[in-house]
Amino acid sequence: MAAKHRLPALYSHREFVEAGGLMAYGPSFVERFRRAATFVDRIIKGAKPADLPVEQPTKFQLVLNVKTAKTLGL
């Protein structure tokens, strides 16, 4: 919809930019899945899920689609 009306839009996932969106800023999925795998490993080894700490993302990505930016005249 943003592209249809030639409006710049910011997304939270890089996949939207890869599909033609202008820009995305959000946590790295690769890093999030890596951390999730660590939690799964700990649970398999006997850790109680309730005892695991809540973690916030620490790595973020800024992705820009230059082609879309040029199309929007930015």
DSSP string, the chain: -TTTTT---EESSHHHHHTT-SEEEEE-HHHHHHHHHHHHHHHHTT--GGGSPP-----EEEEE-HHHHHHTT-
pLDDT in tens, 27-61: 988 888 999 999 999 999 999 999 999 999 988 99
pLDDT band at 23 (very low <50, low <70, confident <90, very high): very high
Domain ranges, ordered by start, for the chain: 10-71
Q: What is the pTM of this model?
A: 0.66
